[in-house]
Structure 1
Amino acid sequence: MPENEQAPDTEKPTSPFDLEDSDLYSKYLLFSRGEMLFVLRALQQKGCMITAHFDHGKSFFLTSLVDVDGDEDQLIFDYGSNEEMNRKVAGADKVIFTSSLDKVKVQFTLPGITPITHEQRPAFSGNLPESILRLQRREYYRLSTPVANPLKCFVPLADGILETTVLDISGGGIGLMLPADRKDFAADSAFANCKLELPEEGTIVFNMIVRNAFFQSNKTGNSYLRAGCEFDNLSGAKLAAIQRYITRIERERKARESGML
């Protein structure tokens, strides 16, 4: 998905970046300058796509790290392809960056970034962050969703709302079953204002990034596209709702297996 300006969630307007401030995740914060430089340079060297959020989470664009200058504690980010979005982010007083490094979520915040010229090309400059959140995806338990009553995810696309079946879910993301002919779910594609209907928990609205997509066949031999998607800055309240759903379904599954249901 190209750079886009988001509409606010229809839920109570809270920050979508609760992870960075939550005591629950404080043990995953890096404060050492050396450790932070190591993570940032790895993001640069591997060419990891980075989502930059600003305007209280209502706007974002995709970028990458062009250079990490340890001597000056300066970060150079690639310029966006949308000039209006570049102009808006240049005036933002807070930008939150998220990415994935070897299946580990990486997030950090900068008090704004500045347009510059780097190697004769437009770019953005920012200082080394005060801390970096590095959250292992394996911290999340992944649940295969019930076949009899599958979860539904609704993804806004250019040609309308796509209703998809959720194959599995965790606090870090979801696996989606998609028509085999979909061409818009390539790795690193970003989708905003998706909706997930959680029984007994209600509907949550979220952003997500496709991390992998490949073809599979079901029991009847029909092919479909399976997309592994990562939640992008899921709020603490929404994460808690997903974890409650997973816990309840797993409890019910174990009860059936033991003959209690």
Structure 2
Amino acid sequence: MDETDFQPGSGPEPDDLQFEIEQAEDYSQYLLHSKAEIVAALRSLIQRRALVSAYIDPGRGFLLTSLLNLEADTGTLLLDWGRDDEINRQALSATQLILSAEVDKVKVQFTLSNLLETRLGGRPAFLAALPDKVLRLQRREYFRLSTPIAKPVKFVTTIKRVDGSTLIAEASLLDISGGGVGLMATPSLAALLPSGTVLSDCKMTLPDEGLLVGKLCVRNKFDVTTRGGARYVRVGCEFLNLPGARMSMVQRYITRIERERKARLSGMS
């Protein structure tokens, strides 16, 4: 669910939410670092009067705000004052705030710290320094599709061992997005895939689409235990320089599977 859907007293608590901007290794290609790009991204939120959710340190709650003004010359940002004075005080004393908004299916996230109280037009407001990075992520890029169990996507690649020998490795995809894939790997296979490993010849057969060939970089690994007690490792991999035609293949596959899934659910209702 999107952060802006959260309402106090229902759904996950704020500290259960995950933010892409905190997963720099997975989303580095979507981070803006130049001041000009950061200013442009934030000004778009001002122009669209976007609602922004500001999360106060881990587990300390959140407030709904909006960006009021931006001064590129002084490197400052003004934000609207929240409705709850206690939450406003927490925001002023917070070590860090994570801010998240979505406009036209583009997610924008950034962090702020050391907020100050100021006034704008006679009303209280927050004053902050411009962030040093902003994440800008389109929905089609961050939507992650769990691959169908009935039609698994097979993954094959060649791994080079430390001694110079090679191994043909096979796995199934757990999920796929425009940014990469999640592999269902045995612990022994995962041990051969440390973070940062580049797999230059990866082949995935997408049902009804064809053979997808690309280069992947291992970004993270998580141990998983199923309800039945089986264990495997989810190996998260990022696409590296995937050509546009192959990216279109991924998007067609995701769109079709999601459409089929919704049709089945609609037929069951």
Match of 2:244 in 1: none
- Structure 2 CA distance for aligned equivalents of residues 41 and 32 of structure 1: 14
Query: 1:7-46 counterparts in 2 under 5 A?
Result: 16-17=18-19, 19-46=21-48
Could you tell me the percent identity over the aligned residues?
A: 37
Q: Quickly say closer, same or farther: Cα 1:141–1:3, change in 2 above 3 A.
A: closer
d(CA) in 2 for partners of 1:77, 1:114: 10
Q: Where does residue 106 of structure 1 map in the other structure?
A: 108
Indicate the SS of the match to 2:55.
strand
Indicate the structure with greater helix content.
Answer: 2
- Aligned residue identity for 1:115: E
* Alignment correspondent of 2:138: 136
> Which sections of structure 2, spanning at least 5 residues, go unmatched?
149-175, 178-225, 228-233, 238-253, 262-269
* Cα 1:37–1:18 shift into 2, 3 Å: closer
Counterpart AA for 1:22: A
Asked whether the 8 Å contact 1:95–1:112 carries over to 2, the reply is no
Q: When the two structures are superposed, what TM-score results if normalisation uses the length of structure 2?
A: 0.49
- Runs of 5+ consecutive residues of structure 1 not aligned to the other structure: 147-169, 172-199, 202-236, 241-246, 255-261
Size of the aligned set, in residue pairs, is 159
The 1:79/1:4 distance shift into structure 2, 3 A limit, reads: farther
- The alpha-carbon distance between structure 1 residues 39 and 121, as it changes in their structure 2 partners (threshold 3 A), is same
The alpha carbon displacement at 1:84 in A equals 0.9
Partner of 1:86: 88
* 1:101-156 CA distance string (max 9 Å, x none): 22100000112311111221100011110100001101145769x9xxxxxxxxxx
Structure-1 residue corresponding to 2:58: 56
Structure 1 stretches of 4+ moved >2 Å: 1-10, 13-22, 140-144
One-letter amino acid of the structure 1 residue matched with residue 133 of structure 2: S
Report if aligned partners of 2:21, 2:110 keep a CA contact under 8 Å in 1: no
Secondary structure of 1:100's aligned partner: strand
TM-score, L = length of structure 1: 0.50
- Is the alpha carbon distance of 1:58 and 1:18 closer, same or farther for their aligned partners in structure 2, counting shifts above 3 Å? farther
The CA deviation at 1:37 is 0.5
Greater relative contact order, per chain length (Cα 8 Å cut-off, separation 6+) = 1
- Partner amino acid, structure 2, of 1:118: L
Any idea what SS the aligned residue of 1:48 has? coil
CA RMSD between the two structures? 4.2
CA distance in 2 between counterparts of 1:15 and 1:3 reads 13
